[in-house]
Structure formats: C-alpha cells, structure tokens
Amino acid sequence: MTHNVLVVDDEPKLCDLLASALSQNGITVFTAGNGLHALKVLECEDIDLVISDWRMPGMDGPQLLAEIKSRFPQLPVIVMTAYSTVKNAVQSMRNGAFDYIAKPFDIDELDITVSKALQFRDILKDNQRMRAELDEHQQIDSLVGDSPSFRRVLHAIDSVRESNATILLTGESGTGKEMVARAIHKHGNRADKPFVAVNCAAIPEGLLESEMFGHRKGAFTGAVADRVGRFQQADKGTLFLDEIGEMPLALQAKILRALQERVIEPVGDPRERKVDVRVIAATNKNLLDAVANKEFREDLYYRLNVFPIPLPALRERVEDIAPLARHFANTLGAAAGKRFSGFSAAALQAMANYSWPGNIRELQNCVERATIVASQAVIEEEDLPAYLFASRPADSGVLIENNGVPADLEAALAEVEKAYILAALQQSNGVQAAAAQLIGISERSFWYRLKKLGIHVDKIVR
C-alpha cells in the first residue's frame, strides 16, 4: 500500500533529508516550510502521516498539532524535537501526537516510528471502510416498500441496473435518491468497481472543476501537488452527481463534454484523459423549468435524462410508512443495544396521518428519536416527536361545520400552512434555510410566510 507523508520543517535541508530517507521505503513525501503551508497541503492531499518540527516561525508545532487534531482527528502526527526539549514532546503526546523523535535522529529509529504510525493509520482506514460498507448495506436494505408507486421504482432499478445508460433521479429532498443510486451500482455490472458520490451543492464553485476533473501541481494557489478528480476516481465504476441542478453553468459545458466524449482535462493540464464512468445524476429541482429560465443547459439535460426515475414523496406511498418505520426501528435499535417488537396502532396511525415534508430522511430521524426515548419493546404514540401532531384538525382551532366544510376557508388554509412550517422548523432545529428546503419553497417565500403567520422562530420549541 502506498502512503503519503507530510514533513513540516522550516529547514529545507532537513525536509530533503527526510524525503530521501522515507522515499526509499516507497513513501510519497510532501513538504511544507511552516504550519500554515502544511494545512493547505492537508486540504488538498490525502495525507496518511504528518512529521512536524516543534519550533517553527509563525504557527509552531503545538499549534499545528492542535489544528490537525481539530480538523483531521484520525491523522497521526509525529513530533520532531531536540533532546533538550523532550519534555515538550511528551506533553505533545498528551495533546494527541502519535509519537516523537529526537534530533539528531537515527534513521532506523525513524523508520520504526513511521512504520508504526502508518500501521495505525491503515487500521483506522480499514475501520472506516468497513463502517462505510455497513452503511451502504443498510442504505440499500432501506429500499423498503410495496406500494404501487415504489414498485415502479424497483422495476426501473431492475430494468436499468445492468446497462451503462445515464440515469436521472428526480424527487423531493429525502426521498432516497442516493440509496437508489447505490442500489443500481451494487446490483449492476460495475458492482466491483468504485462508487463515487459528489454533492454539487456542497462544494464551493471555485473548487468544483478541480474536484470533478483534478488538477496539476501549480495550476492555482494551493495546488501543491497533482490531484486526481472524481471522474478518474470513478473510472470503470459509477459517479453519482447529487444536486446536479446546483451546478454552475460554466461547468455544465465541461460535464457535457465528459459525458459525450468520455474524456476530461485536469485543471492546468491540456492533455486529455479517457474515462469510463457510468453517471447517475439526481436533483430535487424541476430541470425543465431551470432550462426555460436559462439556469441549466438544455443539451446537458437531455444527455442526463436518458433513463429518468422519478421517486415518489413519502406522502404518496403512505402504505410504506409502517414497514419503513419498523425497518428503521430494528436497525437503529440494534445499533443502540435495544430490541423493539414494533409500534402501537396509535403510533402507526399518527405517522400515517403526518405529511412528512422531509420524506424518508425525516421518518428515519423521527424513528431514531423514538428508539431513544422509548422505554418498552413497543414504541408508543407518546414516544414520537410532538411536531407530528401539529397539523391535527382538533388542534387547529378552526371552526368546522357539520358537513366537514370549514367555516372560514382562509383561516383553515392558514392553519394548514402554519402546521407545515412549524413541522419543518422542528425538523430543521429552527434553521430557516433548511426548513424552507424541506417544504420546497425559497427562503424569501419562507420568511414572508413567517411574517404573515406571526411565527417567531426564537419561540419555536426545539
């Protein structure tokens, strides 16, 4: 296994010496002259071990160690120190350093210490990989349901999984688009190859091209080494582009070329690289509306929309709520050391009556809370979060005539609207932007409704 080690020291000769010694063991060595430069390298490269001097100008060794433990808590750090300051090195170990070596150091001693640190790093990586595989297995198992609308989704997955066709998953936030993408990959002809997921909305626009296609060393400030992009990481496998509707127009043309010609160009490198990638894209936007508004390229839309799979909202598959809830209760309960035999009839009815603006993700969060507070093997109605009951007619205070028609339609609609907003705020812990996304409206529209309905967010019960 190839390892990457970062050496941090303000003496270039020492950096060169360590690089020469470590490279003889097949280690790729990066160097940095100070703590700030080291942090930039860590943000760009997959580093397995940091070897840092104790005394450096600017950000010194202890400060760098603190930053690394804060940002990269599982990354081992070896501290270099002179014999006269060994007590400081011991203190650094108490603060999270893996080990220390004293200057001038013996090469054999260095090799042993570095080998132990890299073995430790490999164990942590193996644990992360096994957890990721377990999470993926649980996600695929979460494709639970037998409603007609969900059976259509399962049929579509079965139809397309063995092909290399580009797929566009559409649906509201929380409907399980990534779970479906992983299921297609796992049960398709690329199952033994990488599955690489990219959230296009989570990466800053200035870094998105480099993230997708990679870059050459020196292509821009902070590009201290070559970097492989997501397309190349997913070569022969599947690339999942989540929130594709948020991709900037300037980058859409390059994504289109990658899909059409199966070639990419890393930033700062004019040489083309061939890639064999099966692309699955997902969005909660109406891309045809985005095309009409000149926010999304029409040619890219049709390139992505080869095999569309629309995912139904949870309120459109009410009959699947009970089996999904039982699945989550069993999975989450087992992880917490609890066993549940099911839900009471009242609890199931309460969940069936709720509209689930956050869809399956919200249901999972709801069940997780219930498994924490439940004291019996059967999860009762009182174990469910209070916001599930906010939209009940009996709680609204709206006058209903004997024939079931509201006496004041405007007031009834306002109460329903208020219930949705309160539920979304509860689900998002009062974060207004997240609540707006849950119910599918803009932040501006959400703020207007708060004002119109007299809802004060600071008074929402968390």
> Cβ-count burial of 431 within 10 angstroms (0-12 exposed, 13-18 middle, 19+ buried)?
middle
Residue 140 lies in a domain: no
Average pLDDT over residues 5-9: 93
Residues 49 and 174 in one domain: no
Residues 49 and 188 in one domain: no
Q: Per residue, what are the HEC states of the chain?
A: CCCEEEEECCCHHHHHHHHHHHHCCCCEEEEECCHHHHHHHHHHCCCCEEEEECCCCCCCHHHHHHHHHHHCCCCCEEEEEEHHHHHHHHHHHHCCCCEEEEECCCHHHHHHHHHHHHHHHHHHHHHHHHHHHHHHHHHHHCCCCCCHHHHHHHHHHHHHCCCCCCEEEECCCCCCHHHHHHHHHHCCCCCCCCEEEEECCCCCHHHHHHHHHEECCCCCCCCCCCEECHHHHCCCCEEEEECHHHCCHHHHHHHHHHHHHCEECCECCCCCEECCCEEEEEECCCHHHHHHCCCCCHHHHHHHCCEEEECCCHHHCHHHHHHHHHHHHHHHHHHCCCCCCEECHHHHHHHHHCCCCCHHHHHHHHHHHHHHHCCCCEECHHHCCHHHHCCCHHHHCCCECCCCCECCHHHHHHHHHHHHHHHHHHHCCCCHHHHHHHCCCCHHHHHHHHHHHCCCHHHCCC
Provide the mean pLDDT of the chain: 84
Average pLDDT over residues 26-31: 91
Residues 30 and 64 in one domain: yes
**Is the pLDDT score of 154 beyond 50?**
yes
Residues 185 and 307 in one domain: yes
As given in the structure block, the two tokens for residue 263 are 């070639």
Task: For residue 217, give Cα distances in angstroms to 3, 214, 229.
Answer: 19, 10, 13
Neighbours of 214 (CB within 10 A): 23
Residues 174 and 293 in one domain: yes
Among 75-84, 129-138, 325-334, the range scoring the smallest mean pLDDT is 129-138
CATH for 437:
1.10.10.60
The model's confidence at residue 198, banded by pLDDT at 50, 70 and 90, is very high
Residues 327 and 411 in one domain: no
249-298 pLDDT tens trace:
989 999 999 999 999 988 888 888 899 999 999 999 999 999 999 999 99
CA max distance for the chain = 91
Query: 215 forms bridges with which residues in the sheet?
Result: 227, 267
313-331 pLDDT tens trace:
999 999 999 999 999 998 8
CATH for 267:
3.40.50.300
pLDDT score of 126: 73
Residues 171 and 282 in one domain: yes
Residue 177 lies in a domain: yes
Residues 118 and 181 in one domain: no
The model's confidence at residue 399, banded by pLDDT at 50, 70 and 90, is very low
Q: Model pTM greater than 0.85?
A: no
Residues 297 and 318 in one domain: no
**Structural domain ending residue among the three candidates 292, 312, 332:** 312
Residue 141 lies in a domain: no
pLDDT score of 232: 92
**Is the pLDDT score of 391 beyond 60?**
no
Residue 136 lies in a domain: no
Residues 295 and 163 in one domain: yes
Residue 146 lies in a domain: no
pLDDT score of 435: 82
Domain extent for 436: 396-462
Average pLDDT over residues 395-412: 50
Domain count, the chain: 4
pLDDT score of 462: 38
Average pLDDT over residues 223-248: 89
**Structural domain ending residue among the three candidates 389, 421, 451:** 389
CATH for 124:
3.40.50.2300
CA distance 172 to 174: 6
Place of tokens 């570095």: 114
Average pLDDT over residues 400-420: 61
**Structural domain ending residue among the three candidates 374, 389, 404:** 389
Residue 378 lies in a domain: yes
Residues 333 and 383 in one domain: yes
Residues 304 and 404 in one domain: no
**In b/e form, how buried is each residue of 348-365, taking b as 16+ CB within 10 angstroms?**
bebbeebbbbbbbbbbbe
